[in-house]
Homo-oligomer: A and B are copies of this chain.
Amino acid sequence: MVSIKDVAKLSGVSVATVSRTLSRPDKVADSTQQRVMRAIEQSGYVTNVLASNFRRRKSQTIVVLVPDIANLYYSKIVQEIEVVARSKGYQILLGETQQDPKIEQTYSDLVHQRMADGVISLGMELPIKVDAKRKTVDPKWPPLVMIGEYTGSVPVPRIGIDNVSAAYDATSYLLGLGHRDIAFVGGPRDFTLCKERLQGFRKALQKFKISTGLDHIQYGEFKLDSGYKQTKKLFDLGATPTALFCANDEIAMGAMKALRELKLRVPEDISIIGFDNLEIADYCSVPLTTIHQPRKEMGREAMTLLLSILNGSSPKETRINLPYQLIVRDSTASPRQ
């Protein structure tokens, strides 16, 4: 292994000068620089970044915690985080957590272990153990930014959208088309994210004095087959909604499959609206009306924010909402008379 010492010897300067040539060339005479560079090439020297990081007490690495990397909602966000990170000389340590607190904790610990400088989590909960009563940030926590799902009360910086408003807008759109019998096909009952979307849904219905019975609210997972099963169940229970509000696009696509099997045409017989605006939403059997979440921007903002925290600034706002957008495609129409 050729080290900085060898280069120093070969070029007849001190190790300090070699180090400087590499990190702050402006502080080294041109002629010396050239000698050093030549020695580096001759010897095939490559900086031991691990040693450098150790010495500088920085890892230039951030942990990205994602519940499921094989999920188009998350992966698009991660993608943009990587782009920003790379442009700033940082690397991404990928942590797939499956929402498992133990795995989240293990990955977050890397910061204390000096293997990472900060954490971005796309999960629902803080990735560190915190007792339920805590309402403040502990300065001992690692530099942390949450994205999207986190809705807890501890004021950790979080980038996302206003889910209540978005769901309200989506539902209002259906109401505007004339729908009065709308079912909610949801995610897990205890996810705040799901609760928020349900809340916006209900709030919109209340404008028209519509109260929704339990037979119109289904819970499940944010997954294709859950959307399928929930929709089947909905109609098994005897409901005959003219529109479906699906808590995300995957659920909506699962629902579409169920509707096809039930011989219900979209949007002639029933309207359907999703949430997220995955790229694939435009390639469904019927292009899906949905809420666009600005996932690229979310990733970019989160990484930028974390970077500024790592540089010593403490964020003023802790709950940053980015603009969402209702994307109207072909899966929604006025109900038949």
Contacts and interface: CB of A to CB of B under 8 A. Distances in A.
Interface of A: 46-51, 53-54, 59, 61, 64, 68-72, 75-76, 78-79, 82-83, 86, 91-96, 103, 109-110, 112-115, 224, 228, 253-254, 256-257, 260, 279-280, 282-285
A289 B174 CA distance: 35
A224 B50 contact: no
Contacts of A76: 70
Contacts of A91: 93, 110, 115
A109 B113 CA distance: 24
B50 A113 contact: yes
Contacts of A49: 110, 113-115
20 contacts: A46-B109, A48-B114, A49-B110, A49-B115, A53-B115, A68-B79, A69-B78, A70-B79, A72-B72, A75-B75, A82-B94, A86-B103, A92-B94, A93-B93, A224-B279, A224-B280, A224-B283, A253-B283, A256-B283, A284-B285
A324 to B, nearest CB: 19
A40 to B, nearest CB: 13
Q: How many copies does the complex hold?
A: 2
Contacts of A68: 79
A49 B59 CA distance: 11
A96 B110 contact: no
A47 B114 CA distance: 8
A62 B199 CA distance: 44
Contacts of A53: 50, 115
Given A61-B93, A256-B283, 6 more contacts: A46-B112, A48-B113, A51-B54, A69-B75, A82-B95, A83-B96
A174 to B, nearest CB: 22
B70 A96 contact: no
A247 to B, nearest CB: 16
Nearest to A228: B283
Shortest Cβ-Cβ A-B pairs, 6 listed: A285-B285, A49-B113, A50-B114, A94-B94, A54-B54, A70-B75
Contacts of A50: 50, 53-54, 59, 113-115
Contacts of A257: 282-283
A228 to B, nearest CB: 8
Nearest to A106: B86
Given A94-B92, A96-B79, A72 B70 contact: yes
A197 B112 CA distance: 49
Contact of A82 (B47, B82, B96, B253): B96
Contacts of A253: 280, 283
Contacts of A114: 48-51
A93 B53 CA distance: 16
Contact of A69 (B51, B69, B115): B69
A256 B83 CA distance: 32
B82 A69 contact: yes
Contacts of A96: 79, 82-83
A46 B114 CA distance: 9
